[in-house]
Structure 1
Amino acid sequence: MQSISIELPRIDSEGKNQYLQENTAPSDNYDIAEKQFVQLLAVENLDKQLNINPDIATYFEFALATALTAAYDGAEDYQAHRFLQRILYRINRLYLFWYDDLQNYENERSLYLQRVRNSIETAWQKWELAQIDVESLQKLDVKQALIDRVAYDLNPEISEGSRYIREEMSVEGYKHLLAIGSFDGLVEGSRLSRILGGTANPIQCTLVKVLLEEYGNGRFNRKHSTYFAAMLSEFDMNTEPEGYFDLVPWEVLACANHNFLTTERKRYYLRYSGALTYFEVAGPSAYRNYLTAAQRLNLSDAAMGYWELHIREDERHGQWMLDDVALPLAELYPNNAWELLLGYDQEKLMGDRAAEAVVKSIRQAETPVRAG
């Protein structure tokens, strides 16, 4: 059988970018390019159309090449990071089903989208890994290192940002926190579901237990996302998933995209398991900050119920993840067990970075209120 090869337009470019508008702010150029990308997602049979007319993606491709250099070759430009993580998320979200128009999934297997995703992930992951001393992780006693990390992260020192949330954040700041948090809170646990298929064993069963509790054991009114929606409703806020997408800092998007990467590639199973261990262990300390703030502000029970639920359940989940997932995996894969630590440490590093970005965003949102 004769194979059919679709020649896709190149993503990389060299020389001066003649397509981006020289007198336009970089953020505006990226916004224009993102809008073009959204239009590309809706093109019927995108790969075929690009083969016929590659010019329909020209503006986007030059913006992509510009952003990759600006974000990862030393400058670390904020707008470039934001653009790249938003584009990557728009591709990754197609792994999930949103109960929307089925035509929105027309290009979910597109080779062009795969190439865009790979070009971003390759540069981004190299940049992320450069911030971790991987060689030192490979020399550690993995099981003891996991136990020590968990012992510390159960009750970490209160950071400046956490203290601000606890003691100073206003009601408007709390609403801003909910808006950003809804990005994950309304689709909670969805990425975990991507690693549950396959051979049955006690490790898999523990992960299923975690997912079932996140999903309210199949009862919609008990699903954790339902509790988050209730908090939003208390303030007459938007309860639609991704309703506040434009408020989400790139650092938060990076956490989501990193989880997509490590759940969709089974080779990264240990990294994701280590990351989930940290996430479940560290969650209660963060939620206590939010709960303390809500109580100080005299908010209703419904306006803080999600935090109370998570504190109770994630304390249990963290212990499950250490005892019944991470440590058994370290025994099962002794030569690769250090990847559990890599996942754990990366999740912590990226989570701390995201938390700082959220606090910064809250402060900025509160400034007009406090000034008034």
Structure 2
Amino acid sequence: MQSNLVMFPSAEAGKISIQTKERTFTKYERAEEQFIKLLVTEDLDNKLDVEPARASEFEQTLSWAISAAYQSDRSDQQAHRFLQRILYRINRLKLFWYDDLRHYTNERSPYLYSCRNQIEAAWQKWELAQIDVAALQKLDVKQALIERASADLDPPLSQDSRYIREEMTEVGYSHLLAIASFDGLVEGSRLSRILGGTANEVQCTLVRVLLEEYGNGRLSRKHSTFFAQMLTEFGMNTQPEGYFDLVPWEVLACGNHNFLTTERKRYFLHYNGALTYFEVAGPAAYRNYLAAAQRLRLSEAAMGYWELHIREDERHGRWMLDDVALPLAEKYPDQAWELVLGYDQEKLMGDRATTAVMRSIREAEQAALLT
């Protein structure tokens, strides 16, 4: 089996015609390749102490990218992409991929954690600046969550939703599957990281959500199995991360944000607010994808995942609101606004990711017309 840690597909991310940007993009690529080698270097931290130049090019590019992405008036999209890819490569070490055990040699490397923290500090400040936190702190949290969930359960069709339902081609649909496989083939994994601890009703509800995502322990019923079946129907790669290079940085950011909020228990309310939005809003998006598949007259295997998710996530959304978010708001009245922050931030980042995915789909469809 190919290494999930080191060897990602090497598809070109696109050519940049402007010379200065071409040099910048090449610089990011070189730095990422250097970082990949660092990830699997035996005794990494001690070797860097002896020979710090091993990481010098990467570190210079990392500092450059942080400034270009988060501290500049003109945000550099390639810098965002580089940073989210680096952050993901570190974060994914927190999950087990059933691959070569040597890939986890640097799982607890202080150097890798310092890189992660350097990116996260600047990135999270940039993300938080897009939210009116002071206004959230003044809300009636329970009412705010109820109103938001009601609005997001069945929202009016957006322009993108109509495009998916009425115009997206089979090429666009398969491109959507390729990007969505990044999460769809390992879904639920990050949720598992917040389940440990004392027993109570909230914890048990979260466990029920996870168990349903995992088919109650049966691989044939696990949600990722249904997603893999859709990929198989199109003759596509069913390996996790098989289409990593197609994933927009905006989608990677959503995953990395989940890693952060599940890694730090201080963000427990933040994460559960985010998961509430994700489960509440999911069925509306899945109905768009299902409508597109039905219009294209695809087989049951090519759309079964969406039907399953519409049924189960409608239930999960109710559980998350009624049995997780609202009880947590009562238990932590002084910090309850963090539930709304998590909810709103997940929606904001999700909308940004959707815009990026739709742009990628249209580009793929246009490219197909020209071939």
Which residue of structure 2 aligns with residue 131 of structure 1? 130
Q: What does the per-residue CA deviation read over 1:289-311, in whole Å, with 9 as the maximum and x for residues that have no partner?
A: 10000000000000000000000
Q: Distance in 2 between matches of 1:25 and 1:181?
A: 30
Q: Distance in 2 between matches of 1:165 and 1:64?
A: 37
Deviation at 1:255, TM superposition (A): 0.1
How many correspondences in the alignment?
A: 352
Q: Distance in 1 between matches of 2:298 and 2:21?
A: 47
Which residue of structure 2 aligns with residue 272 of structure 1? 271
Mapping of residues 117-196 of structure 1, within 5 Å: 117-196=116-195
Q: What does the per-residue CA deviation read over 1:279-337, in whole Å, with 9 as the maximum and x for residues that have no partner?
A: 00000000001000000000000000000000000000000000000000000000000
Q: Distance in 2 between matches of 1:135 and 1:22?
A: 40
Q: Secondary structure at the match of 1:334?
A: coil
Runs of 5+ in structure 1 lacking a partner? 1-20
Q: Distance in 2 between matches of 1:199 and 1:368?
A: 53
Q: Distance in 1 between matches of 2:22 and 2:142?
A: 53
Q: Distance in 1 between matches of 2:280 and 2:60?
A: 42
Q: Secondary structure at the match of 2:300?
A: coil
Return the letter of the residue paired with 2:194: I
TM-score (norm 2): 0.94
Q: Distance in 2 between matches of 1:313 and 1:66?
A: 44
Mapping of residues 47-62 of structure 1, within 5 Å: 47-62=45-60
Q: Distance in 1 between matches of 2:185 and 2:29?
A: 25
Deviation at 1:240, TM superposition (A): 0.2
Deviation at 1:174, TM superposition (A): 0.5
Q: 1:184 to 1:23 in 2, by over 3 A?
A: closer
Which residue of structure 2 aligns with residue 32 of structure 1? 30
Q: Distance in 1 between matches of 2:99 and 2:50?
A: 29
Which residue of structure 2 aligns with residue 296 of structure 1? 295
Q: 1:22 to 1:62 in 2, by over 3 A?
A: farther
Which residue of structure 2 aligns with residue 314 of structure 1? 313
Deviation at 1:228, TM superposition (A): 0.2
Mapping of residues 72-111 of structure 1, within 5 Å: 72-73=70-71, 74-111=73-110
Aligned partner of 2:39 among 41, 53, 65: 41
Q: Distance in 1 between matches of 2:80 and 2:22?
A: 18
Q: Percent identity over the alignment?
A: 73
Pair 1:71-2:69 in alignment: yes
Q: Secondary structure at the match of 1:132?
A: coil
Q: Secondary structure at the match of 2:302?
A: coil
Mapping of residues 343-362 of structure 1, within 5 Å: 343-362=342-361
TM-score (norm 1): 0.93
Q: Distance in 2 between matches of 1:23 and 1:299?
A: 41
Deviation at 1:215, TM superposition (A): 0.1
Q: Secondary structure at the match of 1:302?
A: helix
Aligned alpha-carbon RMSD (Å): 1.1
Return the letter of the residue paired with 1:204: Q
Return the letter of the residue paired with 1:40: L
Which residue of structure 2 aligns with residue 333 of structure 1? 332
Return the letter of the residue paired with 2:287: R
Which residue of structure 2 aligns with residue 4 of structure 1? none
Q: What does the per-residue CA deviation read over 1:63-115, in whole Å, with 9 as the maximum and x for residues that have no partner?
A: 10110010011221100000000000000000000000000000010000000
Q: Distance in 1 between matches of 2:236 and 2:20?
A: 39
Q: Distance in 1 between matches of 2:296 and 2:137?
A: 46
Which residue of structure 2 aligns with residue 15 of structure 1? none
Return the letter of the residue paired with 1:25: R
Runs of 5+ in structure 2 lacking a partner? 1-18
Return the letter of the residue paired with 2:62: L
Return the letter of the residue paired with 1:202: E
Deviation at 1:126, TM superposition (A): 0.2
Which residue of structure 1 aligns with residue 304 of structure 2? 305
Return the letter of the residue paired with 2:35: F
Q: 1:337 to 1:104 in 2, by over 3 A?
A: same
Deviation at 1:368, TM superposition (A): 2.1
Deviation at 1:243, TM superposition (A): 0.3
> Greater shift after overlay, 345-354 or 152-161?
152-161
Q: Secondary structure at the match of 2:352?
A: helix
Q: Distance in 2 between matches of 1:161 and 1:356?
A: 8
Return the letter of the residue paired with 2:362: R
Q: Secondary structure at the match of 2:175?
A: helix
Deviation at 1:370, TM superposition (A): 2.8
Q: Distance in 2 between matches of 1:337 and 1:23?
A: 44
Return the letter of the residue paired with 1:209: R
Deviation at 1:24, TM superposition (A): 5.2
Q: What does the per-residue CA deviation read over 1:139-162, in whole Å, with 9 as the maximum and x for residues that have no partner?
A: 000000000000000011211111
Deviation at 1:28, TM superposition (A): 1.2
Q: Distance in 2 between matches of 1:22 and 1:116?
A: 26
Which residue of structure 2 aligns with residue 6 of structure 1? none
Return the letter of the residue paired with 2:134: E
Which residue of structure 1 aligns with residue 363 of structure 2? 364
Q: Distance in 1 between matches of 2:221 and 2:213?
A: 9
